[in-house]
Amino acid sequence: RDAEESSKVRAPTVMKTFEQSLKSQKTVKCMIETRGEKPKEKVKNKKNKGSKKEGTEAVAAPGKASAGDKQPSAAGDREELTKDEILQKNREEFFKRHMKAGEKSSKSPKPEAQKEKGKKPRVWDLGNSNAKVLDYSNSATNGSAEACPVEEFDPDTALGDRNREPGRLYDLEYESDDEAEEEKVIQNPSKPSAKKGGLGGMFGMLKGLVGSKSLTREDMDPVLEKMKDHLIAKNVAAEIAVQLCESVAKKLEGKVMGTFTTVTSTVKQALQEALVQILQPQRRVDVLRDVMDAQRHRRPYVVTFCGVNGVGKSTNLAKISFWLIENGFSVLIAACDTFRAGAVEQLRTHTRRLNALHPPESHGGRTMVQLYEKGYGKDAAGIAMEAISYARNQGFDVVLVDTAGRMQDNAPLMTALAKLIAVNAPDLVLFVGEALVGNEAVDQLVKFNKALADHSMAQTPRLIDGIVLTKFDTIDDKVGAAISMTYITSKPIVFVGTGQTYCDLRSLNAKAVVAALMKA
């Protein structure tokens, strides 16, 4: 009640009228600023460098001016402008201290100039937003030596081993000391070890022997379980490891063992034989023989490379080109990867390097490798068809078709790949897969074959004919991907990539791979 009574006693505050405010004392003329023209007060204020004392005096000045009722309008305008200028100058000094700007900035920038400047998009020095620059369709460089000038560089960086035999495809090599020692122990089981004394060595040797009795599933299960885990640890797909152990168990069940033979050695021997048989399919791909056969029919031998992203299709295509050139065959590379940035330029660089290693002067004036390119964003099947026609007219022996990497689950891209293969009918379809994968190898191959079958227009669809196994030098003895790929497709591994130089291309040695796989 006291608060209510006191509020009633107090008179309500009355707002000032417009006539009583400072704004009413300003004329319209003093508030107009002409563009590009500065008031005299601003110019005078710029000449005086602001100090803290001047700033405080200038800030206090408007208070005095507002106290007087008879202050002229021009003086009030001067005081307000001075206050704004001091604030602006303090801001600029603050930014200079912290940003350490080299140049003196304007103390009162024009707001109109900022609006005119605006925000401009960044333009890169080597970039170009015009898609026509990336289109090589109308260029006349395809098939000409000027398109791929000879490049000078150190051959050792591209060849590696200079003592190799030119044109020869060496086998994979693998030596296992453990295997040799184990074979000696199995061949001489009756001789006790010198390190083990007397009866202890004899009983240790006889442990686990199953003299003259047939093997049962119960005898093999513990050994097969260990073998399965060993195969999975070596990068063999889990599903395939189980199937391999099952097939070995069915083969050995009921078999009568020798007197001095262990279950472990018997199962291991049977598994080794099964693995070697898997890595040596019935149909062997002989590329050189097939190229010579195509030469007799006066047509180019066409090879198409496909696979997922980043497995090394273009790099191993260049290695195979080098191998074919050293065997006396001319190669046309078709740049059908029209999607990945830099794909055409990568093949162009390889072409220059290969022409530098094998110049036309060494082959009777004939350019041994050329690049057929049409730029980016074009239909890959159409480019491949044009390249094959061009190779037929120019007398090339081999056409290597490089395609864009694609995941096996991407239906539109798999449809495009099936179209390219169906339209151009290549002699050899190579799937490029890396040796680093495990279970993924089975998924990739199954879905690639399924997509080629589903999207093909022919009654008998064209599937994968062979495998190029890349990055084999990065896996040590975990070579299970080779087993997984050949087991699931029954197709041979035609080439194995083992390094970074053009000479790092090998043929598969089944016994060497199995020796690495069975190494403990």
Neighbouring CB atoms inside 10 A of 465's CB total: 19
Which comes out higher in pLDDT, residue 42 or 351?
351
3-state secondary structure at position 446: helix
Of 275, 283, 174, residue with least CA distance to 506 = 174
**Cα dist from 45 to 34, 37, 107, whole Å:** 19, 15, 11
Q: Are 402 and 314 in contact (CB under 8 A)?
A: yes
Q: What is the pLDDT of residues 348-363, one digit of tens each?
A: 999 999 999 999 998 8
Which tokens sit at 231? 């195969």
pLDDT band at 195 (very low <50, low <70, confident <90, very high): very low
User: According to the model, what pLDDT value does residue 54 have?
Assistant: 47
Q: Nearest 5°: CA angle at 431, between 272 and 406?
A: 130
Q: What is the pLDDT of residues 104-134, one digit of tens each?
A: 444 445 544 455 556 666 665 555 555 566 5
Neighbouring CB atoms inside 10 A of 15's CB total: 8
**Helix boundaries (H) for 358-410:** 380-394
Residue with tokens 């069915």: 250
Ranking 78-82, 107-111, 390-394 by mean pLDDT, the lowest is 107-111
User: According to the model, what pLDDT value does residue 113 have?
Assistant: 46
Q: Please tell me the distance from the alpha carbon of residue 328 to that of residue 477, in angstroms, as a whole number.
A: 35
Ranking 24-33, 115-124, 262-271 by mean pLDDT, the lowest is 115-124
**pLDDT at residue 478 greater than cutoff 80:** yes
Q: Please tell me the distance from the alpha carbon of residue 489 to that of residue 481, in angstroms, as a whole number.
A: 12
Q: Please tell me the distance from the alpha carbon of residue 369 to that of residue 111, in angstroms, as a whole number.
A: 63
Ranking 74-83, 120-129, 192-201 by mean pLDDT, the lowest is 192-201
Q: Nearest 5°: CA angle at 141, between 139 and 142?
A: 105
146 HSE (CA, 13 A, CB side) = 3
Of 517, 430, 431, residue with least CA distance to 475 = 517
Give the mean model confidence (pLDDT) for residues 73-90: 63
Distance of CA 159 to the CA centre of its chain: 24
Neighbouring CB atoms inside 10 A of 453's CB total: 14
Which tokens sit at 356? 């530098």
Beta-sheet strand order (sheet of 369-372): 369-372, 331-336, 398-403, 301-306, 428-434, 466-470, 493-497, 505-506
Which comes out higher in pLDDT, residue 6 or 301?
301
User: According to the model, what pLDDT value does residue 149 have?
Assistant: 54
User: According to the model, what pLDDT value does residue 154 have?
Assistant: 59
